[in-house]
């Protein structure tokens, strides 16, 4: 018996494998520009996070900033607003989850889980009603928080849904404090 009859690789086998590998590398090199062009451009990546100076916001005041094309409410809550939010029994809440990207997904919707640790007076939320995507009005409604006039959703001073058709609390985005007067969202 000759060596090539026993199943030993032949020169033809080597050439077929080498040609196939070369073709695969060539195809990947040809397809890569099409795949790479689907990545977000630099302008989109620049919107991935935003830093906001909060030094001029007095207790009881709010501002709205844009982040990723969405309004974000930043409120410097008064002591009375924080006490009111803390006094609400969890059983009275329509949505029992905090909806805060900075804490565990299963965290309860206590006021402490809605505000950043160490900066409890600051409430930062995506300002889009969880019912149909409207933008609620601040310091209005039955609970002194936010009110969506389109369909009647009422949020309290911690941004938790209390009454109306909205199914979830307002979302708290990923955020961090750069220093005592600057918040980074995203």
Q: Name the active-site residue from 4, 131, 151, 154.
A: 151
Residues 96 and 167: beta-carbon distance below 8 Å: no
Distance (Å, rounded) from C-alpha 64 to C-alpha 12? Answer: 69
Distance (Å, rounded) from C-alpha 49 to C-alpha 42? Answer: 13
- φ/ψ region of 69 (left if φ > 0, alpha if ψ in -120 to 50, else beta) reads left
Neighbours of 121 (CB within 10 A): 15
4 has catalytic annotation: no
Segment (H or E) for 76: strand 70-76
> C-alpha distances in angstroms, 35 versus 38, 53, 180?
6, 38, 42
Catalytically annotated residues: 151
């Amino acid at each position: 018996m000759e060596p090539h009859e026993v199943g030993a690789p032949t020169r033809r086998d080597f050439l077929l494998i080498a040609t196939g590998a070369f073709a695969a590398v060539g195809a990947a090199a040809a397809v890569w520009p099409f795949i790479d062009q689907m990545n977000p451009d630099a302008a989109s990546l620049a919107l991935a996070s935003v830093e906001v100076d909060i030094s001029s916001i007095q207790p009881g005041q709010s501002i709205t900033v844009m982040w990723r094309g969405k309004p974000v409410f930043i409120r410097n809550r008064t002591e009375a607003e924080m006490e009111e939010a803390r006094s609400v029994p969890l059983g009275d809440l329509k949505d029992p989850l905090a909806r805060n990207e900075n804490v565990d997904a299963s965290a309860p919707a206590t006021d402490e889980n809605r505000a950043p640790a160490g900066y409890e007076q600051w409430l930062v939320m995506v300002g889009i009603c969880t019912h149909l995507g409207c933008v609620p009005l601040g310091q209005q409604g039955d609970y002194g928080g936010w009110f969506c006039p389109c369909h009647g959703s009422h949020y309290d001073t911690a941004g938790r849904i209390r009454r109306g058709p909205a199914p979830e609390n307002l979302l708290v985005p990923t955020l961090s404090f750069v220093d005592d007067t600057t918040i980074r969202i995203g």
